[in-house]
Amino acid sequence: MPQLTSGHEITLLRNGEQFFPALISAIDASVDEVRLETYIFHFDRSGESVAHALVCAAQRGARVYLVMDGIGSPPVPPQWVQTFAQAGVSWQCFSPLGRLGLLVPVRWRRLHRKLCVVDGRVAFCGGINILDDRWDMHQGALESPRLDFAVQVKGPLVREIHQAMLQFWTRLQATKAIEHLAFEQARQTLKQGKVAVLPDAAAHKHDMGLRAAFLVRDNVRNRTRIERAYCKAIADAREEVLIANAYFLPGRKLRHALMHAAQRGVSVRLLLQGRYESFLQFHAYRPVYGKLLAAGVEIFEYKLGFLHAKVAVIDREWATVGSSNLDPLSLLLAREANVVVESRPFASQLRTELLHELQTHASPLVAQTHAQRPWTQRCLDHLAFAAVRCFLFLTENRY
């Protein structure tokens, strides 16, 4: 289980409206280094503002490193390729599809985490992509901003986040060197990435008892850290479990943890995506709702706009904010990152935000209504669910 440590200052950021000004302000104040990872980097108004801040940082002499996912991000516009090159911004596209696309199973492993570290003094982690709140890659312009969260982190935890990003960058560089048969260069690159050269981040004196941990999920040592953290916190819950998650298809262990919590009298409420985004997203998740509802779990579907949050609050003290959905893609294949916070003030703030959305912009899912949905919809649900099971079989993962 994650070791929670003290001495951190963690600020909750809601939506791009709060996230982008904080991120750009930190980059604008950079002196030595900026590292940014994201699933989607879209060169819309918000994306260009971040890109401009990165370019200015590089022109001032800061080292700037950017990684974006090869599926999530559209191609970088040619003018920005040139601008990055002229400014000295180092950027990579993680695992481009190539000619065979998703027919190659290794391509299913995506970079889904959203992280940034500036000068080793401030970090960002959450679910917010470099994408305008009112724009969707598939739906176009949105009437309402998507609901999402991130955190700004100061203190010792920044060093852990920086180390994870440094290791990932050096592995990408080493992989590129190996592809070009530069084995000695690859060995030296990996060696350089083992130790982050950073000043010790000072602990904040007024953290009011806040403790935190940084969790990553990858396909090497940290395959189940985020899922196990959820299961442990839910198993320990005494009063309340409140989860908001965009793509929710939990595995057996997590489903049982939620059902057992509800059956022992814990209030378990889930705020889930209520709008159609894709066939699998809308249909594959619904077959698991029946058992959860029967066990006493309350499910609410968000209706105002698109839900993109991946957060939770348990017993008004334990909270997590990050990039990890509770579905097979996030918990079995993608690179994810969450921050876990143990703090009543922080948890209460996030809980207030979630309860407001749940009570004003969501509709409860009634067990009887769910069971009596049209047979055509039930057929589509089970067809989509079977497709996910087939996908899991191909990946040779138990879930």
Residues 381 and 235 in one domain: yes
3 within some domain:
no
Q: In this structure, is residue 111 part of a structural domain?
A: yes
Do 218 and 174 belong together in one domain? no
Give yes or no: residues 39 and 158 share one domain: yes
Q: Does residue 384 lie within any of the structural domains?
A: yes
What does the pLDDT read at residue 355?
Answer: 98
Of 157, 192, 227, the residue that ends a domain is 192
Could you tell me if residue 200 is inside a domain?
A: no
| Tokens standing for residue 121 | 């003094």
- The answer to whether residue 1 is domain-embedded is no
Are 137 and 50 in contact, with CB atoms under 8 Å apart? no
Which are the contacts of 152, defined by CB distance < 8 A and separation ≥ 6? Answer: 10, 11, 13, 22, 26, 122, 123, 124
Strands 310-314 and 298-302, by their bridges, are: unpaired
Whether residues 104 and 133 share a domain: the answer is yes
Query: Which tokens hold the place of 113?
Result: 């985490």
Are 282 and 387 a contacting pair, CB within 8 Å? no
Mean pLDDT across the chain: 91
Residue 203 lies in a domain: no
Residue 359: strand, helix, or coil: helix
Instruction: Assign 14 to helix, strand or coil.
Output: strand
Q: Which residues of 162-197 are buried (b: 16+ CB within 10 A; e: fewer)?
A: bbbbbbbbbebbbeebeeeeeeeebeebbeebeebe
Catalytic positions are 112, 114, 119, 308, 310, 315
Tell me if 62 sits within 8 A of 33, measured CB to CB: yes
Percent of the chain with pLDDT over 70: 90
Residue 198 inside a domain? The answer is: no
Supply φ then ψ for residue 130, to 5 degrees: -85, 80
Number of structural domains in the chain = 2
What count of other Cβ atoms lies within 10 Å of the Cβ of residue 147? 25
Specify whether 389 is located in the same domain as 361: yes
Looking at the structure, tell me whether residues 84 and 221 fall in a common domain. no
If asked whether residues 24 and 149 sit together in one domain, one would say yes
- Claim to verify: residue 299 and residue 368 sit in the same structural domain: yes
| Tens place of pLDDT per residue across the chain (399 aa) | 678 999 999 999 999 999 999 999 999 999 999 999 999 999 999 999 999 999 999 999 999 999 999 999 999 999 999 999 999 999 999 998 877 666 666 678 899 999 999 999 999 999 999 999 999 988 899 999 999 999 999 999 999 999 999 999 999 988 777 766 655 554 555 555 554 445 555 444 445 579 999 999 998 889 999 999 999 999 999 999 999 999 999 999 999 999 999 999 999 999 999 999 889 889 999 999 999 999 999 999 999 999 999 999 999 999 999 999 999 999 999 999 999 999 999 999 999 999 999 999 999 999 999 999 999 999 999 999 999 988 888 777 777
The domain of 169 spans 9-192
368/306 same-domain check: yes
- 161: in domain: yes
Read off the pTM: 0.93
With b for 16 or more beta-carbon neighbours within 10 A and e for fewer, the 74-104 pattern comes to: eebeeebeebbeebebebbbbbeeeeeeeee
Q: Where are the beta strands (DSSP E) in the chain?
A: 5-6, 9-14, 33-38, 63-69, 90-94, 114-118, 122-126, 135-136, 140-141, 149-154, 211-217, 240-245, 267-273, 298-302, 310-314, 318-322, 336-342, 362-364
Same domain, 137 and 240: no
Question: Which tens digit of pLDDT belongs to each residue from 202-246?
Answer: 444 445 579 999 999 998 889 999 999 999 999 999 999 999 999
Q: Same domain for 174 and 237?
A: no
- Antiparallel, parallel or unpaired: β 267-273 and 298-302: parallel
Q: Burial code of 347-366, b = ≥16 C-beta within 10 A, e = fewer?
A: bebbbebbeebbeebbeebe
Shared-domain flag, residues 240 and 377: yes
Q: How far is CA 375 from CA 222, 370, 371, in A?
A: 41, 11, 10
> Which CATH number belongs to the domain containing residue 364 in this structure?
3.30.870.10
